[in-house]
Amino acid sequence: MILANKDVLGLEEMPAEEILGVLDIAAQFRAVFDRPVRSVPIMRGRTVVNFFHEPSTRTRISFELAEKRLSADIVNFSAATSSFKKGETLRDTAENLAAMKIDMLIVRHGSPGSARYLAKVLECSVINAGDGGHEHPTQGLLDIMTMRQRLGDLRGRKVTIIGDIAHSRVARSNIWGLTKLGAEVTLCGPPTMVPGALAKLGEKVRVEHDLRTAVADADVLNVLRIQLERGAGKGFPSNREYHRMYGITEDVVHGLKPEAFVMHPGPMNRDVEIASEVADGPRQVILDQVANGVAVRMALIYLLSGGDPRALGGSTA
Amino acid sequence: MEWSWKRIPAEYVVRDVRICRQGKLAKRKGYLHVKRGVIEGIGVGAPAVEGVPVFDAGGLVLAPGFVDLHVHFREPGQEEKETIATGSRAAAAGGFTGVVTMPNTEPAVDNSGMIRYQIDRAREHNFCRVFPTGAVSPGRKGEAMTEFGDMVAAGAVGFTDDGDPVADGALMASALKYAGMLGVPIISHAEDPTIVGSGVMHGGYWSARLGLSGMARAGEDAAVFRDIELARASGGHLHVAHVSTKGTVELIRRAKAEGVHVTAEATPHHFSLDHSRCRDYSPLFKMAPPLREPDDVNAVAEGLADGTIDCIATDHAPHTATEKEYQFDQAPFGVIGLETAFAVGVTYLVKTGVMDLGGLVRAMSENPVSAFNLPLGKLEEGGGADFVLLDPDEEWTVSPKTLLSRSRNSAYMGETLTGRVKATFLRGRLTWRDQAE
C-alpha cells in the first residue's frame, strides 16, 4: 500500500515516502509509452468521472489519456456542458455522483477546499485536479518527477519558482512537495504577487523579489504562467514591465549554473514570463513535464484503485 | 433548578440570588421583588414582604437583561434564514431582553413604515424588545440620505447601511451631523471596499496558505480612521460596529481620549477565535469583518476590559444550511451568536482572567443601553423587571438541538462552553427557561 488515503487532495498532506512511491510507479508507466501498444488493461470495467468545473485543456486531456491507457470507462462533464449555475451546491453534485456509483472522481473547481469537501462526502476516491488557488497535486508531482529525472535526490537542491505565487495552486503544491523532499525553495516575483507571509510555509522557503538574486544558484527555475485574465495593472504594471523584470530571457539563462534548467506548467505566454528563445531552447524540459504528467496521473489512478505495485513491476519492466 | 410555577404570578420574589449590576457581583445573597412587571424591591438578604409567592433560585446570578446592539432578523424578505419571531426567541434563550436590528432586509428598512412594521411584529411575539435601525441611504445604495427624522419618530434608534459601508465620505459626514441633531448614532460597518476587494478571509498567513483571497486589516483601520475624523468634525455620534483589528481598538482609544463622541462594540467571535479556524475551509468561520490574528483577538479582548470597546454585540447573522454548504469562497458572510454570547464571554474572557463576571455582564447589558441611550429601565427599584438568571459555572455543548434560531450557522458548533442562561424575564414575564437538565 503506497497511498494511505483514498484521495489525493494535495501534497501538503502527502508524506515524502508516498511521493517517492508514486514517482517510482510513474516511472514504470513512463516505460509503457515507448511500447507499440501503450495501454494496460488494469482499470477495465471501472468508471472514472472527470468533473471540470473550470476550463482546462491540458490537465483534462492528460487525465483522460491516463485513464484511457489504463482502460478505464470515462465520463466527462464540465461547467460548460452540464448547465451548472450558481445556485447549485457542490453537495448536490456530489450526491448525484454518488448515486451513479462511480469509482473515481477527478475534480477541477474554482473554490479552494472543494476537492477536500468532495472527498469528505463521497465514498469513492477523489483526485484534486486543481482547487482554486490552493493545490494542484498532480502538477506538483509531475514537476518533482521531472526534476528528479535530471537531478536525482532533491535534498539540498535549489528550486526557484517565479510568478504570481499568491494565486498559484501549482506553486503551493511545489512548495509542499519539494520541501518534504529536502529541496530549498525560493519564491520570486513582485511583492504584489509574492507576499512575505509565504516564507512562513516552511523553513526552507524564502521570498526574493529580485530575479537575478533569486536564480543565481538555482538548479531549477519553475516559471509560472502569468494569468493575463486577472488583468495587468493590479499585480504588475504591464506585460512589458513584467517581462523586463521577471521574464526568463536568454540573458537570464546565461547567468544560470551550467546544468540548471527551466520548467513551465503551460500554457505559456511567450515573451511575457518566458522568452520564446528559452521556451524553444536547449535548457527547457517542458515537454518532459507533459509526458510525465500522464505517467504520474496513471500512477495515482492505479494506486488509488488498489493496484499492486509489485504486479506492475512484472508486467511493464 | 426547581421551577414549580405553572405560570408566573403578577407579583413574586426571586430569592437566594447573587445580584450582578454596574460591574459588580454581590458577595452576599439577595432578592428581587417584582410587581406587575416593575421592580418593587431589590437588595441583599431576605425581602420583608409577606404573602407573595417566592421562588428560590438556588444561588444563581441575577443580572440585568442583556441587550444586543447588532442583530439581523432578516424579516422582511429572508424569512428562510430568520424571522422576528424566531430571532426574538433565540434572543430570549441567550438572555437578551432587547436587541437592535440591522436594516439590511429585503427590501431595506429605509422608511418609517418599515420601522413600525418591525416594532409591531416584535410586539406580537414579545420575546424581547426590538429596536430597529434604519438605512442611511434609500435601498442602502449609498447615494443619498433617508428620512432620519421620520424614522426616529417611528422608533428607529440609529442609522446604518450595515453589511455595506457608506463609501461616500460626504454622505457619511452629512449622516453624522443630521443624526447627531436627532440624538441617535450612525453605526459604521467599517470596511473600505477598495482595500478589502474580493477578499473572503483575513489577509495573512492562513489566506496565503489556503489560497483564499485576503482582506487586509488596513481596510477596517482606514475606514474607522475616516469615520472618527468625520465624527470629530461633525460632533455626531459614531458607533463602530464589530471591531476586529488592534488598529481599530487603538484608534477608538485615542478618539475617546480626545473627546470624540464614539462608541464601539465587539462580537464574541472576534475576541475568541482567530483566522487559523478557517484551515478546514468551513464557512462557519466566514464573516465580515473576518477572524483576525491572535494579537488582534487579544487587543479586542483588552479593549473590552478597559472600556475602549463599550459592549459585546453578536452580529447575529443567520444563513440557511444550504447557503453555508457552499464552498468557502462562495458562501455568505456571517454567523449566529445570540444563544452563545454569554457562554463565549465566560469561556474566553472571564475564565481567562481578562474580565470578571461583573465586567462581562455590564458589557452585555448596562453599557449597550447607555451607548444608544435606549429607553430601558435599570435593575433598580422602579425599573422594568428585565432580568436574567445565570449559572456562570455550568458547562454545555453547542449542538443544533440546543439552538432556537432558525439557522444553525454557529462558529461554536460542537464546542463545550462554560456559562449558561437559566431563565430570562421580560417585564417580569418568563421568556426563556433552560429545560435541558
Q: What is the pLDDT of residues B331-368, one digit of tens each?
A: 999 999 999 999 999 999 999 999 999 999 999 999 99
Inter-chain CB proximity A132 and B281 less than 8 Å: no
Q: Which of B23, B116, B12 is nearest to B306 (CA)?
A: B23
- The amino acid occupying position A47 is T
Tell me how far apart the alpha carbons of residues B411 and B271 are, in angstroms, rounded to a whole number: 13
pLDDT of residue A87: 53
Q: What is the pLDDT of residues A136-165, one digit of tens each?
A: 999 999 999 999 999 999 999 999 999 999
Tell me how far apart the alpha carbons of residues B41 and B382 are, in angstroms, rounded to a whole number: 8
Task: Provide the shortest C-alpha distance from residue B319 to chain A (in Å).
Answer: 15
Edge-to-edge order in the sheet of strand A158-162 = A205-208, A184-188, A158-162, A220-223, A261-263
Q: Which of A114, A167, A195 sits opposite B327 (nearest CB)?
A: A114
pLDDT of residue B1: 43
Length of chain A in terms of residues written: 317
Contacts 24+ apart (CB under 8 A), B1-8: B1/B57, B1/B58, B1/B60, B1/B389, B1/B422, B1/B423, B1/B434, B1/B437, B2/B56, B2/B58, B3/B55, B3/B423, B3/B433, B5/B53, B5/B55, B8/B425, B8/B428, B8/B429, B8/B430
Q: What is the pLDDT of residues A2-35, one digit of tens each?
A: 899 999 999 999 999 999 999 999 999 998 887 8
Q: Which of B210, B280, B322 sits opposite A134 (nearest CB)?
A: B210
Structure confidence at residue B47 as a pLDDT band (50, 70, 90):
confident
Edge-to-edge order in the sheet of strand B311-312 = B186-188, B238-240, B262-266, B311-312
| Interface contact B212, partner A, CB < 8 A | yes
pLDDT of residue A81: 52
Q: From residue B209, how far is each of B193, B221, B274 by CA, in Å?
A: 23, 24, 15
Cell of B194: 477598495
The verdict on whether omega for the bond into residue A190 sits within 30 degrees of 0, i.e. cis, is: no
Helix or strand run (H / E) with residue B431: strand B429-433
Q: Which residues pair with B159 in a beta bridge?
A: B134, B186
Phi, psi of B132 (to 5 degrees): -75, 150
* C-beta separation of A103 from A47 below 8 A: yes
Structural domain spans, chain B: 11-63+382-433, 65-372
Active site residue B434: no
| Interface contact B3, partner A, CB < 8 A | no
Min mean pLDDT across A84-98, B244-258, B274-288, B413-427 is at: A84-98
| Interface contact B271, partner A, CB < 8 A | no
> Is pLDDT at A38 greater than 80 in this prediction?
no
Mean pLDDT of all residues in B42-59: 90
Structure confidence at residue A89 as a pLDDT band (50, 70, 90):
confident
Tell me how far apart the alpha carbons of residues A38 and A43 are, in angstroms, rounded to a whole number: 14
pLDDT more than 70, % of chain B: 98
Tell me how far apart the alpha carbons of residues B136 and B7 are, in angstroms, rounded to a whole number: 43
The verdict on whether omega for the bond into residue A267 sits within 30 degrees of 0, i.e. cis, is: yes
| Interface contact B198, partner A, CB < 8 A | no
Query: Among all chains, which residue has been given the C-alpha cell 460626504?
Result: B170
Q: Which of B205, B208, B281 sits opposite A113 (nearest CB)?
A: B281
* C-beta separation of A272 from A242 below 8 A: yes
pLDDT of residue A98: 82
Sign of the Cα pseudo-torsion (B4, B8, B11, B12, in order): positive
Tell me how far apart the alpha carbons of residues B77 and B300 are, in angstroms, rounded to a whole number: 33
Inter-chain CB proximity B327 and A112 less than 8 Å: yes
Helix or strand run (H / E) with residue A49: strand A47-52
Tell me how far apart the alpha carbons of residues B37 and B134 are, in angstroms, rounded to a whole number: 29
Q: What is the pLDDT of residues B98-139, one digit of tens each?
A: 999 999 999 999 999 999 999 999 999 999 999 999 999 999
Inter-chain CB proximity B327 and A167 less than 8 Å: no
Q: Which residues pair with A131 in a beta bridge?
A: A109
Task: Provide the shortest C-alpha distance from residue B327 to chain A (in Å).
Answer: 6
Inter-chain CB proximity B213 and A133 less than 8 Å: yes
Structure confidence at residue A307 as a pLDDT band (50, 70, 90):
confident
Inter-chain CB proximity A112 and B209 less than 8 Å: no
pLDDT of residue B7: 80
Task: Provide the shortest C-alpha distance from residue A91 to chain B (in Å).
Answer: 7
Best A9, A95, A109, A111 residue to mutate vs chain B (most B CBs within 10 Å): A111
Give the number of other Cβ atoms within 10 Å of residue B324's Cβ. Answer: 21
A51 Cβ contact partners less than 8 Å away, ≥ 6 residues apart: A77, A78, A93, A97, A105, A106, A107, A108, A109
DSSP one-letter string for A236-293: SS-HHHHHHHH-B-HHHHHTS-TT-EEE--S---BTTTB-HHHHTSTTB-HHHHHHHH
pLDDT of residue B437: 53
Q: Which of B211, B280, B327 sits opposite A169 (nearest CB)?
A: B211
Higher local confidence (pLDDT), B415 or A308: B415
Domains and CATH numbers, chain A: 16-136+290-312 (3.40.50.1370), 137-286 (3.40.50.1370)
Q: Which residues pair with B429 in a beta bridge?
A: B426
Tell me how far apart the alpha carbons of residues B134 and B162 are, in angstroms, rounded to a whole number: 10
Q: What is the pLDDT of residues A201-256, one digit of tens each?
A: 999 999 999 999 999 999 999 999 998 766 556 788 999 999 999 999 999 999 99
Round the average pLDDT of chain B to a whole number and report it.
Answer: 96
- Which residues of chain A neighbour B204 with C-beta distances below 8 Å? 197
Q: Could you tell me which residues of chain A have a Cβ less than 8 Å from any Cβ in chain B?
A: 86, 89-91, 109-114, 116-117, 131-135, 166-167, 169, 172, 195, 197-198, 200-201
Segments of B57-160 assigned E as strands: 61-64, 66-71, 96-101, 129-132
Task: Provide the shortest C-alpha distance from residue B129 to chain A (in Å).
Answer: 36
Q: Which of A89, A91, A198 sits opposite B208 (nearest CB)?
A: A198
Tell me how far apart the alpha carbons of residues A275 and A247 are, in angstroms, rounded to a whole number: 7
* C-beta separation of B372 from B100 below 8 A: yes
- The amino acid occupying position A15 is P
| Interface contact B281, partner A, CB < 8 A | yes
Min mean pLDDT across A224-233, B292-301, B408-417 is at: A224-233
Tell me how far apart the alpha carbons of residues A37 and B12 are, in angstroms, rounded to a whole number: 92
Structure confidence at residue A316 as a pLDDT band (50, 70, 90):
very low
**DSSP H helical ranges for chain A:** 16-32, 58-69, 90-99, 114-121, 137-151, 169-180, 211-215, 239-246, 250-254, 276-279, 286-304, 309-316
Structure confidence at residue A100 as a pLDDT band (50, 70, 90):
confident
Mean pLDDT of all residues in B294-312: 98
Mean pLDDT of all residues in B380-392: 97
Tell me how far apart the alpha carbons of residues B180 and B148 are, in angstroms, rounded to a whole number: 11
Tell me how far apart the alpha carbons of residues B300 and B144 are, in angstroms, rounded to a whole number: 33
Query: Among all chains, which residue has been given the C-alpha cell 440624538?
Result: B183
Tell me how far apart the alpha carbons of residues B77 and B102 are, in angstroms, rounded to a whole number: 13
> Is pLDDT at A190 greater than 90 in this prediction?
yes
Is the CATH code 3.20.20.140 the one for domain B65-372?
yes
Supply the angle between the helices A286-304 and A16-32 in degrees, to the nearest 10: 110
pLDDT more than 90, % of chain B: 94
* C-beta separation of B171 from B138 below 8 A: no
Q: Which of A91, A113, A201 sits opposite B328 (nearest CB)?
A: A113
Q: Which residues pair with B41 in a beta bridge?
A: B33
| Interface contact B79, partner A, CB < 8 A | no
Inter-chain CB proximity B328 and A134 less than 8 Å: no
Pairing of strands B30-35, B38-44: antiparallel
> Is pLDDT at B164 greater than 70 in this prediction?
yes
| Interface contact B330, partner A, CB < 8 A | yes
> Is pLDDT at A315 greater than 50 in this prediction?
no
Q: How many CB pairs under 8 A join A and B?
A: 57
Structure confidence at residue A54 as a pLDDT band (50, 70, 90):
confident
Sign of the Cα pseudo-torsion (B266, B267, B268, B274, in order): negative
CATH class of B11-63+382-433: mainly beta
pLDDT of residue A1: 73
Q: Residue A231, by phi and psi: left (phi above 0), alpha (psi -120 to 50) or beta?
A: left
* C-beta separation of B69 from B79 below 8 A: no
- Which residues of chain B neighbour A167 with C-beta distances below 8 Å? 211
